[in-house]
Amino acid sequence: MDAVPGVRLPRGPPVPTMTTVTTRRTTTAALGALALLLAGCSSSADPDEPGEPDAGGGWTVLHYSMADTNLEPFMVSDVNELGEVGTTGALQVREFMDRSAEYGDDELLDQGSWVGARVLDINPGSAELVDDLGDVNSADPEVLASFVAQGIADHPAGHYALIISDHGASWPGVGPDEGSDDDVLDLAQIVEGVSAGLEEAGVDKLDLLGFDACLMGSYEVASAVAPLADRLVASQELEPGHGWDYRALQVLADDEAATADELGAAIIDGFEAQAVESGTDDSITLAMIDLTRMAAVDEALGDFSGALAERAATVAPAVGRAGESALGFARSPNPEEDSQMKDLGMLAATIGVEALDVSDQADTLVRAINDAVVDSVTGQATQGATGLSIYFPPTQELSNGAYGDVSSAASWVDFLVSYYDAGAAIPAEEQAAFVDPESGAEIEYDGEGFSITGVYDEVGEGNLTGASMSYAVVGEDGTLTYLGEQDAVIGEDGAPVAAGYYDMTALTVSDGEDSSYAYLALGYQEGDEVISMDVPMAYYAPGDVDGETYQDVLLSLVLDAESGDIVSEQYYVFDPDSGGYGELTADPEGIIVPETLTVAADGTQEWAASSDSGLYADLENLTYDLEPLDPGSVVQLDLTVTDFGDNSTTISETAEIP
């Protein structure tokens, strides 16, 4: 790729070439320009403090694979990695694997392939069948509890780790189990199942609890599971399909006195190394949380949430702007498929800078997070991630009512209610508005692209949270086919002006035979070394290529901001039942279709994925390009400003591509 649509890369010296593409954190949270809030902080754990698990006594690792899903091939590979270590004198490994008839016949060690659930003891290079459970619901907390209790009873040790693997969605939980009506193991059921298993086994808590799943590195999850374990290892962002490298368990086989911190560090090291090897490292996250320090985070978040709720009417604009700028995870142009998870440390730090009357509470929360996150790794596109995310839908309409039942987030729920109420109370004259919407926007062609500007009403300027620009091709019948969106700027040089820029290109995806335009949501801020692109897609399996049954997919591209070259690409499938994501396993004989947003002449909007315009789903051989639109094409540029109450106003103008 030679150019990025709508983005003028920063002038001046070129961005230096990155020789290290992941960022490893061991003692302090990276908060970019806001790092001063963390001055004097250290998250190094003192081994003499009560939070450090005792050493010695050997380990039992319980691995719970909810593989009755399209992630099964990846999970089989993970267990084969477990078999490269296996049970030794210092380490005992037990596996629960629930398999499907739908996703191949990959062989697991010497057990071959099967359908249904089995419990296995993993040895070096082989496995011993403990129990053939047949068709069970792996999303049933009683099944999880039984596995934990029996695993500990059969393999007593000084230390215990439990790792749960499947699609992840943060507070909605993990799953689904496709063979059990797409049942999901929600957060309350995770706590229920693990608690019951530990109680039956007579064990107070685990030394380490891990989620080899997307999005589980959230405040809601960490707070809920804090009574269950000393350490939590989880990712804020979507995980590549290869997941963790389970050869990391070698650290336990080598030393029966290994600590939970040493295990967690080995998991993070292995995950990072495997991501680098696989070319998926640019957008990774993985962190180890000291759960014995979550009480301080709980208290700090409660105080912060309370302070925000008390001052909602005055701090809401700053909160809204912070939400727009904070690092988000599992972002999608389709808001119904966006996780709405934001980095909690970034969010608190930014609010503390912009709303000084809550800066003390924000600073305390940032420091508590910094102390709790004892190790982490990030990629170029996720630099600054602090280890814990939190649910923050920008509007009440986009929020999931089930979030109110998440007990670990009660104080944050109270704040969200006050925030949405404050937005609903914005007087009409102070809502986002352009001064002269009837006259449309001002468009200027500079030989390379179009700039679009509009003057907004200064009365509502203090309530604005951001601006965006989108672009569409205008059909002969007036139908608009939108090709992308990106941030616009507001208030440059102190003037009440919103401005965007479009370079007349569109993203195309090709399978070598056909090509198709794709909708592109672009994330870039001046000075960034990488550019994030999120592309909504749909996948039709070979048996459905002529039908209407498809899976929603998110293509995540990361580009080098200087060269425009793609440095990573990942396809993630969205599960509507759990709200979770996992890497797509595509049959090359299936088809992949870019989803587009169309607006009919009567204003009807639809995200569409027609199989008539599909490409072969040979993902490794698909190519991407930013191609200039054909001369004579008519485009419509939309410029939108939005306030924290989700009041928005748009001005539009059309232009012909020269």
pLDDT confidence of 544, banded at 50, 70, 90?
Answer: confident
Q: Please state, as a whole number, how many other Cβ atoms lie within 10 Å of the Cβ of residue 197.
A: 26
Note whether residue 358 is domain-resident: yes
Question: What is the arithmetic mean of pLDDT over 452-472?
Answer: 96
* Span 369-394, average pLDDT: 97
| Domain termination residue (choose one: 366, 401, 425) | 425
Cα–Cα distance, 166 to 171 (Å, whole number): 14
Q: Which two tokens mark 308?
A: 């925000």
pLDDT at 630 over 60: yes
Q: How confident is the model at residue 508 (pLDDT cuts 50, 70, 90)?
A: very high
Q: Give the whole-angstrom CA distance, residue 82 versus residue 64.
A: 12
| Residue 486 per-residue DSSP state | E
Q: Are residues 320 and 266 in the same domain?
A: no
Record the tokens describing residue 399, joined without a space: 């929020």
Angle between helices 344-354 and 359-372 (to 10 degrees): 160
Q: What is the mean pLDDT of residues 543-561?
A: 85
> Which residue(s) pair with 283 in the sheet?
none
Last residue of one domain, picked from the residues 425, 440, 455: 425
What is the number of domains present in the chain? 3
Handedness of CA 392, 568, 233, 97 (dihedral sign): positive
Q: Is the pLDDT reported for residue 43 higher than 80?
A: no
Same domain? 500 vs 404: no
Residue-number span of the structural domain to which 319 is assigned: 296-425
**Average pLDDT over every residue of 14-22:** 33
Question: Is residue 222 in some structural domain?
Answer: no
The pair of structure tokens assigned to 432 is 């986002």
441 and 421 inside one domain = no
* 434 and 323 share one domain: no
Q: What is the pLDDT of residue 611?
A: 55
Mark whether 576 and 464 lie in a shared domain. Answer: yes
* Beta strands in 339-449, from DSSP E residues, in sequence order: 341-343, 373-379, 389-391, 442-445
Residue 236 covered by a domain: no
Do 489 and 378 fall within a single domain? no
Give the end of a domain, one of 425, 444, 467.
425
Q: What pLDDT is recorded for position 562?
A: 86
| Inter-residue contact 256 to 230 (CB < 8 Å) | no
The torsion angle over the Cα atoms of residues 270, 275, 277 and 279, rounded to 10 degrees, is -170
- As a dihedral over the C-alpha atoms of residue 445, residue 641, residue 236, residue 175, rounded to 10 degrees, the angle is -100
- Give domain status of residue 271, yes or no: yes
**CB-based contact 451:501 (threshold 8 Å):** yes
**Residues 597 and 510 reside in one and the same domain:** yes
Q: Is there a single domain that holds both residue 351 and residue 450? A: no
pLDDT tens-place string over residues 267-322: 999 999 999 999 999 999 999 999 999 999 999 999 999 999 999 999 999 999 99
Task: Specify whether 311 is located in the same domain as 447.
Answer: no
Mean of per-residue pLDDT scores for the chain: 90
Q: What are phi and psi of 400, to 5 degrees?
A: -95, 120
Query: Are 321 and 460 within one domain?
Result: no
41 falls within a domain: no
**Does 104 reside within a domain?**
yes
Q: Which of 45-54, 250-259, 468-477, 531-540 has the lowest mean pLDDT?
A: 45-54
What is the residue type of 192?
Answer: E
CA distance 79 to 60: 15
Question: Does the residue 467 lie in any domain?
Answer: yes
pTM given for the model: 0.89
In a domain, 265, yes or no: yes
Indicate whether 14 pLDDT > 60.
no
Residue 389, number of CB atoms within 10 A of its CB? 36
- Read off the amino acid at residue 549: T
Of the chain, the end-to-end C-alpha distance in Å amounts to 22
Q: Are residues 440 and 582 in the same domain?
A: yes
Q: How many residues does the chain have?
A: 658
Are 373 and 512 part of one and the same domain? Answer: no
Res 612: pLDDT = 62
Question: Per-residue pLDDT tens for 191-240?
Answer: 999 999 999 999 999 999 999 999 999 999 999 999 999 999 999 999 99
Mean pLDDT of 577-605: 90
Q: How far apart are CA 448 and CA 8, in angstroms?
A: 11
In sequence order, what DSSP letters do the residues of 160-229 get, joined into one string? Answer: EEEEEES-B-STT-EEEEGGGTTEEE-HHHHHHHHHHHHHHHT-S-EEEEEEESTT--BHHHHHHHGGGE
